[in-house]
Amino acid sequence: MNRPAGWNPFMEYNDIYIVSESTEKTVLVAAIGKNSKNPYGYVHGGLIYTMIDCAAGITARADGHSYVTQNAYVNYLDNVNDEERIFATAQVVRRGKTVVVVNVSVHTQDDKKLADGVVDMFRIED
């Protein structure tokens, strides 16, 4: 089975899929089901964090090298309980020789911002 370059089994497990990817910008979508929600019926913060981390990693790795998360900072801004899907949009802030800094926004289809994060991805030996 052919898998896209950014494929990740943890993403598949969490119903997160790649909409688009490049060395500068990546967009992911997550299907929201009962297992995506916290006990209060809202999107689980862990899913939001996972989307941020995965979007940053895919964007960093789009240059053909291997990266791991070095640091991640997330501001949870809002939440929803009635969406069928949410999106993560990652944009490179700076691409250095060993560290890529990526800003990631998690939002609804109507651009209601749920979280904003900054992730530093560290390049490891290929």
Q: Please give the pLDDT value at position 5.
A: 59
Percent of the chain with pLDDT over 90: 90
10 Å Cβ neighbour count for 4? 10
How much is the pTM? 0.93
pLDDT bin (cut points 50, 70, 90) of residue 1 is very low
Q: Which fold, 9-124? A: Thiol Ester Dehydrase; Chain A (3.10.129)
pLDDT tens, 20-65?
Answer: 999 999 999 999 999 999 999 999 999 999 999 999 999 999 999 9
Q: Which of 115, 117, 95 is nearest to 104 (CA)?
A: 117
**Domain map (residue ranges) of the chain:** 9-124
Percent of the chain with pLDDT over 70: 94
